Structure 1
Amino acid sequence: MKEIAQIPAVYGEWVAKGSLWEFVVNNRKGGRMFLVPDGCTHGELHEMAQKIEKVELTCSLPDVILQQMAPDTPPMHVTNDRQVV
């Protein structure tokens, strides 16, 4: 039997504030909980999210990576399974 992971997702947008990027949550829309089966691909996750409305999957880079990059490095758009950890 496949395990199911719960992935919380929130509506919002990345905003540049000075030399840093900050994710600003859209409090009006709130969030959703996606139930994702083990082995779900990026494409399948994106398809699930697109059924709700147009979405972009993004994430902030881990601090250990950001320490090696410029502070104004923008958030990364997740576009394939290799980028999902």
Structure 2
Amino acid sequence: MDLVRSVSDTGRALRDWLRIRDHGFAGGSDRDAFFSSLEARPILRWALQQRRASMDRDRALEILADAPDALKAEVEPDA
């Protein structure tokens, strides 16, 4: 529910997430655009709330490993 309230277009945000989750970033500029987007924080928070060993949660953890420190601090549950 937090995701729905946090993004303007939930369907688009989830489609973008599925593309990133399943195919990765097209390049550094694609990654940087995601990190700076308004959807990055809510979609990563949502993904981290999924069950352990889920594709969403695992991919979010991988992405956060390379994310800017400010994004990590806002998203990671143990930050």
Q: TM-score, normalised by structure 1?
A: 0.27
Which of the pair is proportionally richer in helix?
2
Q: Which has the larger radius of gyration?
A: 1
Which of the pair is proportionally richer in strand?
1
